[in-house]
Structures are given as structure tokens and as C-alpha cells.
Chains A and B, each alone.
Chain A
């Protein structure tokens, strides 16, 4: 982007070097939180969640430290995490983890999340890392606190600690029946414990009482009564409303601006940024619409050339090679080469990007809906040339993100306006701004050539152009394989999206598998199982097939069954779909979608189902009809009346089979359940009417001719 203030996010997967960041002050902490016990955590770089774009020359610094847990004199627990709640119910799941280890009801635990001044550093909420990384961390902190409380109780009750246990927020001596509440044990104290020291045992899944159970969404009542305050709802005293004048097309630069003067209105121009702050929303928008701005535009690509651009600008980058692809193909008795494409799609989170910024004596506070509070803190510090310690970012529980809210441009906009106006400013992007000026889920071209011999895959040549490397591997057991991801010059600004490129790569792979099975007249399930070594993946395929009734009935005319599956980010998924369609695809209805999902030990079965169901529905959009259309640097369908998203009438019957593996660590679930949806539907459409659809969206007009 030529527009300098737009911050290009990490492009594909997110990697981040850890940083050292010691800002914890004991005295301050007890002053703010009250007396009691605090547990601080030491996080190694590997554990901190990975991701972002920080680091560069930074060496591997070992540790990050910050408060994780506070137990107050009333026995109530406050826990701290840099993760953000964007609807995925991380708040609820982490609350369960703390409640479990401290043996308290979930409603005794309150989480402070995503606040750069109050929570330990975290790289961001993405990559399905909250369950595998953050849950063990907060459990360790809680377990450390529990052990410390037992030690204190032993002195308090004058008994051997070995005979003590913790129940319902108390330490109990079963022999005497005497007990002492946590609050009592920390009364008047400034206790300080480090979670990584001492290896307090974590509660094994077989003994879980809070983890693994259905705990309703924390603060659910605030959401059904309209009381929850999103960033968009914040109003500070004296606050102004901001509006940004956008360029007429991508890549345009601001040449000149006519003068505007209106009492109480601030106009800010800095390089290509042009914004307005006014006492009310209507004035801000009216002035923004009336500003005479001259822009210099440059020719920009259109979607008609999209796939050619992605191919022509690609740079070779080998991901992995095994055996010899030539040898494998030479040995094959059947070969197949196919190409798959996918369009750019928009996250379109229902709460648009929004920020409120306020300056006090050179210090900046920004409330912003983002998945990366510390990343946005760094962006703001960088934009204004101030140290990060002068920037405080707070993330209220946010109206979704799906990987779309990693960057902080809206916070920079609000802060620029607030700085010049000398008053707090709120900026809320309009829906049209959301579509045009956020980043897109990457488009891509995927070419697959495979060879089979006697029903076994012998060669697998897989090339992904632009869409990304997640889920790139063949999954299946193939002796000769070559798997490449080729980054390209993307015509649209692009970044993370739920599931990243795994959706694209699973689409290509699982449709291709269906195509081979059809070519060699094999049942697609048998064909997959015959080429698969991974037992966890086999298990979800089998569980889903059984529950779906695969092979047990014939579909009948105009009705088809299909499936796809795979693994990603520690989770294993198989998605089976039933579709009705007519021959010319004028009418296609996804009737039923069944998902079997395994992500280790289930933390909260109802929240997990909610994530899977949501993934299926969101996946339907990208599979069937979502597509950003653009020409010469302008988005053509950037509003909800033109960009089709799944609605109630699109909803299939949704069934979910949870495979709970108590013996395995919990993985995340926000992303992986989406990856099997598109191939399952494409394969089901083929089964229904014999039309093979290799472009996502399946029902979108292919790029306009």
C-alpha cells in the first residue's frame, strides 16, 4: 500500500521473537489490587504465543514476567492474561482452568484480559494458541497458588500439609474437619510466588470438575441485556467523533487539500492521512464528505487478472520434498493434474474496527478492538515516536475478529486526531471502510498433480500460489512428494484469517482426493483410509462417517454426499455434507453438515460445539458465495447489500461429534473446524449432479470475464 500509515500485518503465519519486558512492580500491584497473594509467571519465548513482526535483530531473550493471579482477602481470584476475548470464549475457558486448579467455583474467578498495563505480555490471540499455551500457564499459576495456600494452612492449622486438601476455596484437614478459607490465609499479607518455581502438579483430566464441563459464557447476561461495553460504545467526557477521508482507490496519494474551517472541528492532514474530529458524529461525517481533497491515483489491478498476477509474480520457495516426484509419477498407473482457485474474502466482523484515544501529558491511552494489544501498543509507539511505556492499550471484549483485527490502524487514526484536537477522539470504521481498508483473506491458485498405483498414492506435487503455507502438507502417506508455497505480489492487502491458508490447502487436497477416488472407482472414504497412517485423523474420518451414515444409503437424484478432513493446529477434523442441487447449479442447498472433531481433552464441550457450529456456518460463506470483487483499485461489492454472507436461510442441519481425548493436551478449536467445509460441499455437489467445482466460492461467478 502506498498509504503510509496503513500498517501491513504479518502476511501468513505469524512468528515472533520473544522480548524481555519487566514492568511489574510489587508495591503498585498490591496498592491497586489490594492485599493478598500474587503469583507472577515466567514465560519462555516459546510459550508466549508466537506471532507478530517484532524481533528482527533481537536475540532469543529468555523470559517475560508479569502478574498472573491475585487472591484477595475476600478469597476471590483475579487472573491476568494478555489474550483478547473476541467471541471465542477464551475468557470462559481460562476461567475454568483457574477455578479447577484452585478448587473454587468458576464465578469466584475474574479475568483481566488484553490490557498492556495490567496483563503480562502476549504476542496475540491467534493461531489457536490460547488453549495449548495460555490455559496451561494460568493453570500453573493457579496450582502454584494452591500449593502455597496449603503450606500456609498447614502452619495456620498446625497440621502436616500432607493431610490437607483444598475444597471450595478452603483448605481442609479431613482428619479434624477443621478448615480455613483462602481469604483468611492471605489476610493482611503481601505474598509473592513465582509460578515456574516449584512444580505444583496440574489436575489430571480424569479428576477435572470444572474443566471439561459446560460452564456458560462469562458475563453472558451483559450481552443479552445490551450492557456490555464494546470499544464502539465507549464515550469519554469531552470526546470528539472522528471520520477519515479515504482515498478514491488503493494506492492513491494525497496531493492537496482545500481549506476547511468550522468552529469546534479539527482537520488533520499528515502525509496521506486526512481526518476530521468534530463534537458529534454527523458533523464529522458532513465535514469529511465536504473536504476538497485531490488524490493522485495510479493504475491498479482488477480481479479479472487476479490469478494470472498470482502466478506471474510468484517467487519459488520450497517447503518440502520427499523422494523423487519424477520417479513417483513414472511409477503411477493413474495420474491426475488439477488446478484450484480461491477468491479474496473479507472477515466482515460485525463490530467494525474502532478505537478511542486519549492523550494525557504525552501519554497515550487507546481502547481498541484488536487481537494483538501489545502489537498495537508497538504500532502506536512507533507511529508517534514515543516509548511503549507511554502507550496503554486496553481491549474491551470485542465484537469478533476471525484473524482480521491484528493491526491497529484505527487506533493510530484516533490517536492522531486526539493529539491535534487536544481531546479524546473515537473513530469507528463504517462498514464500507471495513470492506475496503481492512486486509483480506488471501486469494490463491493451487496446482496439484498426483499419481496412484494399485489404489495407493505414489506421487504428490502440490503448489500453492499466494494463499499461504498452513496445512500445506499432503497429510496422506505418499513416498514421493513435493510441496511448495510460492508467495506472490498480492493485488489486495491481505493477512490472517480464521484457519489461515489451511482452508485453501484442504480444499485443494480433499477435492483432489475425491477426484482421484472417482477416477480409480474407489469409495472416497476407503481410498483415504488406505492412504492414511495418522490414527487420530483416521479416527475422526471413521467417527464422522459412522455418524453420518456414509455408504448406508443412496442419495437419490439431485442429492449428494461428500466429505473432507484433515488436521491443523493440533486439531483433527472430518466434515461430511449432504447437498441438493439442480444440474445447472441455479439451486444448491447444503442440507446437512456433520463434523467430527478431536482437539485433545475437551475444555468446555458446549463452547467447543459453539465454535464448531460457527466454523461450519462461516465456512459455508467462503465455500459458496463470499468473494471480494475489485477493479482498478476499488472494491466493487464492499457493503452487506452486495457482499453475500451466510444467513439463517442458508443454515443446514448441523451435527457435531466431539471426540474427547482426555489423554491428550487440549488444542485450540477456533480455526480447524472450518477447513473441511468447502471440500465436503464441493464433493457433495459432484456426487449430486456430476459437476466438479474447483473454485472457491463454488457458486460465485468465476472472476468476471
Chain B
């Protein structure tokens, strides 16, 4: 095994990187790949601002080692919209005005997208539980819950096959 991480699959593309094996994924994304949508908030997996999807599961990129995601499919906030059309969660965040300063938003959107992949119809309590590790210091929680519910609704109305 090489002593550096040299390749990561991010947002559907195999990308060349050159990172220490123990470098945290967040810094590989931000500093090496220029994907600054994932945010630093605490560095200890407590605030969720750095949340990305790894093989469809929401993870904290600030405590994820680069070597542990080699060969896996990483999706960041920059890769969530498909062909220029927003993911239902992104659209719902806009419709519900579910942000203030927006710094937590990427992580909130990714955690919500991860939740809906696992559970397309979460109850309000399930949403709160799933997002409890994501912090919004502006206190936009009620709107975020509303946005996730809207996004879940939008999904059921989408034509089958999507």
C-alpha cells in the first residue's frame, strides 16, 4: 500500500490527490481539492458542519481518515445537485428559508440527504434524532426540520424511476 493517499472518488470523479494517510478527509477536500462547501466547525465530530456522504452514509469528514475512504464514493455539497437541478433537500432548504448565516447549511443538507437515503419518510422525531449531531448556532432548527419534511414529501411525489 502506498504511504500517501493518491486517489479519491469525489462527486462521481476519480481525482488525484497527494495526502498523508492519516490526513482528515475534510482538509483533503478543502485544501487539496478546493471543495470548500464542507466546513470546519470543531474538528472533533461534534458539530456536523463537515458532513459528507461516503457510500451514501453521512459521515463527519473532520474525523474521517483519508485512507479509510479510498475506493469509496464520496459526495460533498458541491456534488449533490444533478445536472444543475438542486437536490430536493437543497430546494426545500431554500423554500423553508432554513438558514441564517448558512455556515452549518452544507452539513445540514448532507446529513438530511443521508437520512432520506436511509429512511425516505422519517418522522419528526427521527429527523431530530438523525440531525442531533449537527449544530446550528443561529437556531434555525424548526425550519430545518420543516425543510426535511418538505423534501421527504417531494420525494414521494417524484415520478417512479428517479
Chain A interface (Cβ < 8 Å from any Cβ of B): 86-89, 216-217, 220-221, 223-230, 232-233, 235, 241, 280-282, 347-352, 397-400, 402, 428, 430-431, 606-607, 610-611, 613-618, 639-641, 645-649, 651, 654
B46 interface residue per 8 A CB criterion: yes
| A613 and B139 within 8 A (CB) | yes
Q: Chain B, 110-139, contact with A by CB distance < 8 Å: what is the 0/1 string?
A: 000000000000000001110111111111
Q: In the docked arrangement, what's the CA distance between A611 and B139, Å?
A: 9
Write the nearest CB–CB distance from A559 to chain B, whole angstroms. 20
Known: A347-B137, A350-B137, A648-B134. 19 other contacts (CB 8 A): A87-B103, A220-B97, A221-B94, A235-B36, A281-B31, A350-B39, A352-B41, A399-B103, A400-B101, A430-B43, A431-B44, A616-B139, A639-B46, A640-B41, A640-B46, A640-B135, A648-B129, A648-B132, A651-B145
- Some 30 contacts from A to B, beta carbons below 8 A apart, are A89-B100, A221-B86, A224-B90, A224-B91, A224-B99, A226-B36, A226-B76, A226-B106, A229-B36, A232-B36, A235-B34, A350-B39, A350-B136, A351-B101, A397-B101, A400-B100, A400-B137, A606-B97, A617-B140, A617-B141, A618-B138, A640-B47, A645-B135, A647-B133, A648-B129, A648-B131, A648-B132, A648-B145, A649-B132, A651-B128
Cα separation A227 to B143 with both chains bound (whole Å): 21
- A228–B109 Cα distance when bound, in Å, is 15
Give A87 to B98 CA distance when docked, in angstroms. Answer: 11
Interface centre among A225, A428, A616 (most CB of B within 10 A): A225
Residues of B within 8 A of A (CB): 20, 23, 27, 30-31, 34-44, 46-47, 49, 76-78, 80-81, 86, 90-91, 93-94, 97, 99-106, 109, 127-129, 131-145
Pairwise interchain contact A615-B139, C-beta atoms closer than 8 A? yes
| A224-B100 contact, Cβ under 8 Å, with A639-B42, A648-B132 | no
Complex CA–CA separation, A229 to B101 (angstroms): 12
From B38, B78, B109, B128, contact of A649 by CB (8 A) = B128
* Minimum C-beta distance from A424 to chain B (A): 15
Q: State in angstroms the CA–CA spacing of A281 and B47 once bound together.
A: 21
**Which 6 A-B pairs have CB atoms at the shortest separation, nearest pair first?**
A226-B37, A87-B101, A617-B139, A399-B103, A223-B102, A226-B77
Q: How far is the CB of B39 from chain A (nearest CB, A)?
A: 7
Q: Across the interface, do A610 and B101 meet the contact criterion of CB distance under 8 Å?
A: no
Pick the contact of B105: A223, A347, A398 (CB < 8 A): A223
| Shortest Cβ distance from residue A650 to the other chain B in the assembled complex, whole angstroms | 8
The reply to whether A233 and B131 form a contact with Cβ atoms under 8 Å apart is no
Q: Cα distance A647–B111 when bound, in Å? A: 14
| C-alpha gap A349/B138 in the complex (Å) | 8
The smallest C-beta distance from A694 to any residue of chain B, in angstroms, reads: 25
Closest Cβ–Cβ distance, residue B138 to chain A (whole Å): 5
Per the bound structure, the CA–CA distance linking A226 and B44 in Å amounts to 21
* Residues of chain B lying within 8 A (CB to CB) of residue A87: 99-103, 138
Residues B46 and A641 in contact, CB atoms below 8 Å apart? yes
Q: Which residues of B contact A89 (CB under 8 A)?
A: 100
Contact indicator B102/A610 (Cβ below 8 Å): no
- B99 to A223, Cβ gap below 8 A? yes
Chain B nearest Cβ from A297, distance in angstroms = 26
Q: Could you tell me if A400 and B135 are in contact, using CB atoms closer than 8 angstroms? A: no
Contact A400-B34, Cβ < 8 Å, known A87-B100, A87-B101, A648-B128: no
Task: State which of A235, A282, A610 has its C-beta within 8 Å of the C-beta of B20.
Answer: A282
Question: For B143, what are the chain A residues with a Cβ–Cβ distance below 8 Å?
Answer: 610, 613
Q: Which of A229, A233, A235, A282 contacts B23 (CB 8 A)?
A: A282
Smallest distance from the beta carbon of B76 to chain A beta carbons, Å? 7
A232 CB, min distance to chain B CBs, angstroms: 7
A618 with B46, Cβ < 8 A, contacts A225-B86, A281-B31, A651-B128 known = no
Interfacial chain B residues near A606, Cβ < 8 Å: 97
Closest to B101 in A: A87
Bound together, the chains give a CA A654 to CA B100 distance in angstroms of 17
Shortest distance between the CB of B104 and any CB in chain A (Å): 5
In the bound complex, CA of A617 to CA of B144 (Å): 13
Which residue in A229, A235, A428, A616 is a CB contact (below 8 Å) of B40? Answer: A428
On whether A225 and B27 interact (CB within 8 A), knowing A235-B34, A350-B104, A398-B101, the answer reads no
When chains A and B are docked, how far (Å) is the Cα of A402 from the Cα of B103? Answer: 14
Contacts of A241 in B (CB 8 A): 31
- When C-beta atoms are compared, the residue in chain A nearest to B103 turns out to be A399
Q: Are B97 and A216 in contact (CB under 8 A)?
A: yes
Given A221-B94, A648-B132 in contact, is the A614-B139 Cβ separation under 8 Å? yes
B contact residues around A648 at 8 Å (CB): 127-129, 131-132, 134, 141, 144-145
Chain A proximity of B132: nearest CB distance (Å): 5
Partner of A350, one of B41, B78, B86: B41
A220 close to B94 (CB less than 8 A)? yes
Contacts of B127 in A (CB 8 A): 648
| Beta-carbon contact of B129 and A649 below 8 Å | yes
Given contacts A225-B81, A226-B37, A639-B46, contact A402 B137 (CB under 8 A): yes
- CB-nearest residue of chain A to B109: A224
- A residues near B129, Cβ cutoff 8 Å: 648-649
With both beta carbons as reference points, the residue of chain A lying nearest to B144 in the complex is identified as: A648
Contact status of A351 and B46, CB under 8 A, knowing A280-B31, A400-B100 = no
Nearest CB of chain A from residue B56's CB, rounded to whole Å: 18
Q: Which residues of B contact A228 (CB under 8 A)?
A: 102
Report the minimum CB–CB distance from A356 to chain B (whole Å): 13
Q: Write the chain B residue with the least CB distance to A431.
A: B42
B29 to chain A, nearest CB (A): 10
Contacts of A224 in B (CB 8 A): 86, 90-91, 93-94, 99, 105, 109
Residues in B neighbouring A641, C-beta threshold 8 A: 42, 44, 46
A365 CA to B27 CA in the complex, in Å? 25
Report B-chain residues with C-beta under 8 Å of the C-beta of A86: 101
Across the interface, do A226 and B78 meet the contact criterion of CB distance under 8 Å? yes
Query: Known contacts being A223-B105, A618-B139, is A351 close to B39, with CB within 8 Å?
Result: yes
Partner pick for B142 among A88, A216, A223, A651, CB 8 A cutoff: A651
Contact residues in A for B93 (Cβ distance below 8 Å): 224
Determine how close the nearest CB of chain B comes to the CB of A653; give it in whole angstroms.
8
Which single residue of chain A is at the shortest CB-CB distance from B31? A281
Is B142 touching A613 in the complex (CB atoms < 8 A)? yes
Distance (Å) between the CB of A261 and the closest chain B CB?
22
Across the interface, A647 reaches (CB within 8 A) one of B39, B41, B102, B132, namely B132
Minimum CB–CB distance for B20 against chain A, Å:
7
CA distance A607 to B100 in the complex (A): 9
Assuming the contacts A226-B78, A227-B37, A647-B132, asked whether A400 and B94 have C-beta atoms less than 8 A apart, the reply is no
Interfacial chain A residues near B145, Cβ < 8 Å: 648, 651
Q: Would A230 and B103 be within 8 Å (CB), given that A281-B27, A350-B41, A639-B46 are in contact?
A: yes
Chain B residues whose CB sits within 8 angstroms of the CB of A282 once the complex forms = 20, 23, 27
Bound complex: CA A610 to CA B76 (Å): 27
Closest to B89 in A: A224
With A and B bound together, what is the CA distance between A308 and B140 in angstroms? 37
Q: Which residues of A contact B136 (CB under 8 A)?
A: 350
Q: How far is the CB of B38 from chain A (nearest CB, A)?
A: 7
The answer to whether B42 and A349 touch across the interface, beta carbons within 8 angstroms, is: no
Given A224-B93, A225-B37, answer yes or no on A614-B47 (Cβ-Cβ < 8 Å). Answer: no
Minimum CB–CB distance from A642 to chain B (whole Å) comes to 9
Q: Which residue of A lies closest to B24 (CB)?
A: A282
How far, in whole Å, are A567 and B103 apart by their CA atoms in the complex?
30
A282 to B101, CA, bound (A): 28
